[in-house]
Structure 1
């Protein structure tokens, strides 16, 4: 089972990538599709809803800004009733709101009640106007404590603050992180994986490609070939079965998606 837990249908440089994404879906068993943030949020959420109806392998996360969107239980129930819409994605840094803002807490309460996952997409590249202070994973500690049944996913390991993410993964049963790597950034990949291994939280990592920034096949090749990258060094390695378990994890089951 290969589930790509971090993909997008659009990017600022290439626009809409519907056909390219459908090609990606042929190479995985399932994938999470995250709607984008910003003034086009409603349009992108509508595009996502349409795409989910056309693509059986895709599971959607609607983009929500709790400061200016409807966050009532009724609204989230409506989201959940859409075909394979399984959660919401928040861009706290880019949209300039604290993850524990009172309005955000109302959203989490409704999401927990409706069984929706909350995906925090607070990761590079940041725009010049982003508030990086709101991207720090430790801010989610309060959220995880207040809503222990809320399933939380931290995007891209919470980079550049991944050490905070590792602490949260070890502390809270309901917190997970997607290991979306840049295959060309070898030293970054090494530190992410070795940090998770030494922290004993490899079972909390979900595979992701970050498409269109990378392709799942390339990311899988990098992860499974992790120890080969270290062949001519004296750096510690990670058991191959631990690496394979990330790639082959049934993230749908892990996150309670039926």
Structure 2
């Protein structure tokens, strides 16, 4: 009906439960499915610590300003990239709305971009150190410490099965319209929040939680208006601040 974001490639194992029904609306999006205020505050605090540490490290190495500068840049780059990968992770989402309900898939791919960055960083700095070693043999030590360390980090990330499993996720959930008890348009995020009350398979009690539907900028009102007619009569429709939890479904 309206294009919400550039389509992502869906996971091959995904099978929509309501695939037999026409799709009223469907889209894919990459979003930060957690409290971004806390994550951003943590990022800037840690970034300041990394910056100060890099400056102090550079000033403590007085032997060779070029050698010291290269090592400092390597330290700053690797640690900063690691920090960003922790505080600014994004999850892939695919949503599908039909007359029966809403279902979504969320998955996280392994960050191949980080491997590419580390590989190029190790290669470029290694060439630089080897070239500088023709002028001063002491740069060979730098080639072992700097690019060598980056190379080992790349190998451990690229070929560690456990590391890849930690950074890869897949979940698929579906809900019927009569399971929702409140519809809200978030005032602080591009999110449509649906509170639900269901008895999960294998449980004998009711689970109450929220489904956060992540939307493209300025599209959440349209999504909410499409959903509203399918909800049970009397379900509240509000605008409110939404705190995105660490998990959007049990």
What TM-score, normalized by structure 2, do the two folds share? 0.25
Higher fraction of strand: 2
Larger Rg: 2
